[in-house]
Structure 1
């Protein structure tokens, strides 16, 4: 059964997308620009095997009016999952028009397939391994992502803010992590240093101030977070 989360204050507009997404298996649709807190809550409910279709709106002028669809000209697609590799590209669509009129399902899925095919072809030429891919478009920063993670992109004026909510871990500036951690369930997430929040269900083993995730990555806890970590593992 398809999982479909629509995260947007403009509920009436996004309802038009439900019919399109309902025919695409194991996808979650998120528009995090308008309500990041709700998006985080929805993401924590999604199974780790769920593919995430993230639709963001790329600002085409400097007004910074993020809630006004008229100021956006592109959708950016990010599709990642625990079983398959999908990659991100952007295709131009008038966002206001897209949300206000019916779009044929085949047109929507065709656009996604073209994006994936083009990116996979380009990545095959540049990377020996598809385990990690570099996402880069225009003025966006280059960001490496792997499986089991969700990428949030927020545009604020001319500045691009990246929020990488990993199912394995979270990397972000320290001040951002403080706010993000407040929105994450203490049953699933715990902070271990200034740059990393880990998903406790993805921890394979730990000893002292060392943590190993199920993907084999080791992390070192800062002393100030050690007691908090050992106390929190009993909350799982």
Structure 2
């Protein structure tokens, strides 16, 4: 029998998850907690295999739960109302989340991945990546990159450029490595634009801090000596960004 923990301070949200879990009742046992303290104690004692964790818990947050538990051998699924910044952090860490009100189809997809234990790999490190994006300290931000072996964890500042390859993206880092991810370039553009990245071409997203030179002919040279063309329609915006306009 698999134990599933539902951590939420709003009863109607807890009831919604319990209703969605009903089809699994013969193979699971559910436990519910409505405060950070209860959740921490419950996780340590009950050792759930799947945890549904609300972002906001009274005056505290689900991140307080994660920072306090020593047992992290579970599949983590956040539940949250729409908060763009929080969702961005989930994407950086590759941690699953469900938007409230929770749709049945989204829930079933999350459960399928949980049962396959897809989302459990390297959870401890992915939680650390997540927490780094909520830290008020000036810490180096990182991103979790899915790979065949599990995940790679990259400092955002080490990414030189990203290159499109149909529905894949190749990420090139300052150590000369290439990481291939089954995500389109637009996915990384949306994540990295606030972190000093600019899409100079349909196929290329670059780290502005990695620019070595820019020629009037419309080509930019990066720190790894890659030379790329800035598309005509993006050139004006690119020059403004470089000038800080």
TM range (shorter): 0.3 to 0.5
Q: TM-score, normalised by structure 1?
A: 0.39
Q: Which structure has the bigger radius of gyration?
A: 2
Q: TM-score, normalised by structure 2?
A: 0.38
More helix by share: 2
